[in-house]
Amino acid sequence: MSENLMEAKTTSFILRQLERVPYLSFFAKTRGWPFFISWCNRIAGILLVVWVWIHIYFLAFLCTPSAYDNNMTVFRWAIFAFLQWLLAIPVIFHALNGGRLILYEIFGKRNDDTMLRWVFGLSIIYIGLVGLFMLLGNQSVSPFFFWLFILVTALVIGYGVARKIWKSEHSFLWKLQRISGAFLLIMVPAHLLFMHLNPSVGMEASVVIKRMQSWFIKAVDLALIVAALYHGAYGLFSVFSEHLSSRILRVALVCLIAVIFLAFAWVGIRLTVTI
């Protein structure tokens, strides 16, 4: 049996089992699996926006290191450690599925079934790796080395997408959404992985402050904050504005989203620059 046939049979077997699940079978039979995956992508995106807000809120406590350390004791509880591990699911799924959409929409790759298999396969590997590092809790790596490697990779991918669409007549904001998505595709999963290399990396104020005092890490964090908040704001607008046919309500939504995201951007940027 050829490898392709074997792969197709395995996929078909998995899909047949999934189609037996009551709610999933409705999507599979009436709209197709990509439709269901699109919904998952939306939900994951909204969850990640909330995560970014919570993340910036807690980081703001770094101004008072003892308060930060106090807050972080909660995140050492088993239930919160488990929730942090679960966070790896929306992070990697949204990132890789976004990558798939970029390949489909911008680079003309139409072998969607294969790309979806890669999305799920790599997601499982990543989720497993995060879990493994969390359990071990004893890994260390030079932040400069790690982030230099990640930043260069993310910039190359972002540049590749920008080069393909920059001269097109698409809306500037839409182009930025795609470029920021390509950049975050690497940066956000790397950020989550880095934070779980060992407990002190993200939970001890002194370690975090020392790392953030490096000009290079400041630059990395600023790029992350700006790209993540822009990507999240555009994504939220895109999802919610669809249901508003009134122009006034759409403008109001833009204003509301802009105010919320600018407030978080202000907190995050100020903290990163001044720490």
Kindly state the smallest distance separating residue 95's Cβ from another protein, in Å.
16
Q: Are 204 and 72 in contact (CB under 8 A)?
A: yes
Q: How many C-beta atoms surround the C-beta of residue 130 within 10 A?
A: 23
CB closer to another protein, 34 vs 131:
34
Kindly state the smallest distance separating residue 158's Cβ from another protein, in Å.
18
CB closer to another protein, 42 vs 117:
42
* Contacts with another protein, residue ranges (CB under 8 A): 26, 29-32, 34-35, 37-39, 41-42, 101, 104-108, 110, 112, 164-165, 168-171, 174, 238, 241-245
What is the residue type of 199?
P
Q: How many C-beta atoms surround the C-beta of residue 204 within 10 A?
A: 16
CB closer to another protein, 173 vs 263:
173
Q: Are 189 and 97 in contact (CB under 8 A)?
A: no
Residues in contact with 256: Cβ distance below 8 Å, sequence separation at least 6, in sequence order: none
Kindly state the smallest distance separating residue 104's Cβ from another protein, in Å.
6
Please give the DSSP secondary-structure letter assigned to residue 109.
-
Kindly state the smallest distance separating residue 184's Cβ from another protein, in Å.
17
CB closer to another protein, 90 vs 143:
90
Kindly state the smallest distance separating residue 230's Cβ from another protein, in Å.
16
DSSP-assigned states of every residue in 187-235:
HHHHHHHHHTSSTHHHH-HHHHHHHHTSHHHHHHHHHHHHHHHHHHHHH
CB closer to another protein, 39 vs 80:
39
